[in-house]
Every structure is written in C-alpha cells, then in structure tokens.
Amino acid sequence: MHLTLELPHRRRSDLLLPLLALGLLLAWDASELDLLLIRLYGAADGFAWREHWFTSGLLHQGGRVLAWGLAGLLLLNALRPLWPEQNRAERWWWLAMTLFCVLLIPLLKRGSATSCPWDLAEFGGVARYVSHWHVGLGDGGPGHCFPSGHASSAFAFLGGFFALRRAYPGWARAWLVGVVLVGTLFGWAQMARGAHYASHTMWTAWICWFSCALGVGWLKR
C-alpha cells in the first residue's frame, strides 16, 4: 500500500520541477540577459575563445569523446550490469532515454531559424538578433542554432538519475550533480566561443529533463 501511494506522489514531483523551471526560463528569455552575457565574450572582430584549445579542443571536441564513452558504458551496463541492483528495465530505459535525447536536440535545431551569436552583425557576421520565440522569423543568418547540441552531450544523460534512484539513491544524486556541472561547463564553453546563448544551454537541459520526467512513466519497476 505504501508503494502504490508513493509512486503517484513521485510522478507529481518529477513533473513539478520542470514546470517550475519553465517559468524561470521564460523570465530569463524576457530579460534579454542572453545578449548581455554574450557581449562579455564577443567583439566586432568575433570571439577570442572560438578556437581556443580549452573551449574548442578540450571542452568541445573532448566533450564529444566523453559522451561517446558514456554511451558505450550505458550499452555495456544494459548488456552486463555494472550496477547489479538495477533491474533490466531500468538499464535499458536509461540507454533508450539517453539516445532519445541525443536525437531530439539535433532534430529541434534543424528546424530552428535562430542563428548562433557568432553570426550576429555586431560580432562580424550578417544576422540580427531575433528571439527564438519568433518561430519561423529569420534573422538573416544561417539559423539552426537552438537549442544547444553540444550541451546535450551531457544533459542527454540526465536519465541516469531516474534509472539509479530506486536501487542507488546516493549514486543517483551524485550522477545528477555531475551531469548538471558538466553540462553547465559545456554550455559556458559554447557561449564563450560564440556558438550559443546561455538560454540555448538552459533549454537543452530543460528538454532533456522534461523528456526523462515524462518517460519515467513507462519505466516498469
């Protein structure tokens, strides 16, 4: 009886957090803080950090390698449990949700008319700033820059929190903190390079978290 009462309560909590975060995201977009932050890194001749070894090499290219390594780890875990107290459904759900998020973000980017900060005229490009909320309204640039694809190299793994929390609640919390920290670092690197606004990273995190919060309803315990 305790379990049947606990699960609906947990489902409500899972969905309440992203709904509250959505309000904060909307407030951020209305504040135009994206432009304020990106101007800290960009100038008329572009972005000094764009090709820097730390942002472009270590955090961008290195981040991709890390993501592929983690994906391989999840596949291995699905086939041969690395966390033995996880059940089969949890392991395969974790892998499936990660792949779903990895595919979803680039799909959304493909349909976006929003250009990257380095495409803006004030940073040496040709585009003008247009909020990504103006769906279908071009900014004069190449578009396809919202949300942040590179941030999904970390945030796509948020499903680990849901997949681990039954059997390993401590590991689940540690995994969540680690993913958020790495995703934030990746997002900062892309902002410093001029590849994305801060909100692009926030939306990637929100989309991945909300997808997992919805998808956990299909996870059979």
Residue 192 has pLDDT above 90, yes or no: yes
pLDDT digits (tens, 9 = 90+) for 108-161: 999 899 999 999 999 999 999 988 777 777 889 999 999 999 999 999 999 999
pLDDT for 51: 97
From residue 149, how far is each of 97, 103, 145, 175, 203 by CA, in Å? 16, 10, 8, 20, 10
Percent of the chain surpassing pLDDT 70: 95
Q: Are strands 42-43 and 46-47 parallel, antiparallel or unpaired?
A: antiparallel
Answer yes or no: is 16 within a domain: no
Q: According to the model, what pLDDT value does residue 45 have?
A: 95
Dist CA 62 CA 78 (whole Å): 25
The answer, yes or no, to whether residue 35 has pLDDT greater than 70, is yes
Domain membership flag for residue 201: yes
Average per-residue pLDDT in the chain?
A: 91
In a domain, 12, yes or no: no
Mean pLDDT along residues 157-171: 96
Q: Please tell me the predicted confidence (pLDDT) of residue 39.
A: 97
What average pLDDT does this structure show over 195-217? 95
Say if residue 198's pLDDT is above 70: yes
**How many other CB atoms sit within 10 Å of the CB of residue 174?**
14
Q: In which domain, by residue range, is 53 found?
A: 33-218
Asked whether the predicted pLDDT for residue 18 surpasses 50, the reply is: yes
**Within-domain flag for 7:** no
Question: Residue 162 domain-assigned?
Answer: yes
Predicted confidence band of residue 221 (pLDDT cuts 50, 70, 90): low
HEC sequence for the chain: CHHHHHHHHHHHHHHHHHHHHHHHHHHHHHHCHHHHHHCCCEECCEECCCCCHHHHHHHHHHHHHHHHHHHHHHHHHHHCCCCCCCCHHHHHHHHHHHHHHHHHHHHHHHCCCCCCHHHEHHHCCCECCCCCCCCCCCCCCCCCCCCCCCCHHHHHHHHHHHHHCCCCHHHHHHHHHHHHHHHHHHHHHHHHHCCCCHHHHHHHHHHHHHHHHHHHHHCCC
Strand ranges in 119-172 using DSSP code E only, listed in sequence order? none
Note whether residue 22 is domain-resident. no
Which pLDDT value is given to residue 200? 97
In-domain check, residue 112: yes
Total number of domains in the chain: 1
Assess whether pLDDT exceeds 90 at residue 6: no
**Per-residue pLDDT at 5 exceeds 70:** no
Is residue 1 included in any domain, yes or no?
no
